[in-house]
């Protein structure tokens, strides 16, 4: 099993979340929403999708009027959280910043 696909322990998950303010845990997923205008959200999603293709890891993406939500888990690890999920979350944060998406508590 590749390193990124090993389920993290509870302690590892808590430590990773402490380093990723804005992301919250929902069961075996991590999730974060950003405020962004609809068409800007589309552009941001395309950028995220390009990176996802490069790293072979994909978020579930929910685009609404004025906001976009990313939810991440590792399907190949039985829908558990792995380092690959936190790696993608960090990349999404960087892309969100580049698109001037607003951190929102939602």
Ligand X SMILES: C[C@H](O)[C@H](O)[C@H]1CNC2=NC(N)=NC(=O)C2=N1
Binding region for ligand X (CB under 6 A): 56-58, 72, 74-76
Task: Give the nearest distance from C-beta 24 to ligand X in angstroms.
Answer: 17
Map residue 34 onto helix, strand or coil. strand
Element housing 30 (H / E): strand 29-35
To the nearest whole angstrom, how small is the minimum distance from the Cβ of residue 82 to ligand X? 8
C-alpha 7/C-alpha 76 separation (Å) is 10
- According to DSSP, the residues that pair with 37 across neighbouring strands are none
**CB closer to ligand X out of 40 and 63:** 63
Q: Cβ of residue 85: shortest distance to ligand X, in angstroms?
A: 7
């Amino acid at each position: 099993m590749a390193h990124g696909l090993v389920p993290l322990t509870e302690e590892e998950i808590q430590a990773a979340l402490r380093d990723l303010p804005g992301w919250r845990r929902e069961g075996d997923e991590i999730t974060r929403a950003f405020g962004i205008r609809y068409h800007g959200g589309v552009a941001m999603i395309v950028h995220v999708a390009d990176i996802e293709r490069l790293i072979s890891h994909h978020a579930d993406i929910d685009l609404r009027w004025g906001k976009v939500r990313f939810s991440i888990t590792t399907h190949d690890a039985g829908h558990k959280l792995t380092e690959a999920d936190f790696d993608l979350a960090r990349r999404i944060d960087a892309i969100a910043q580049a698109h001037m998406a607003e951190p929102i508590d939602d």
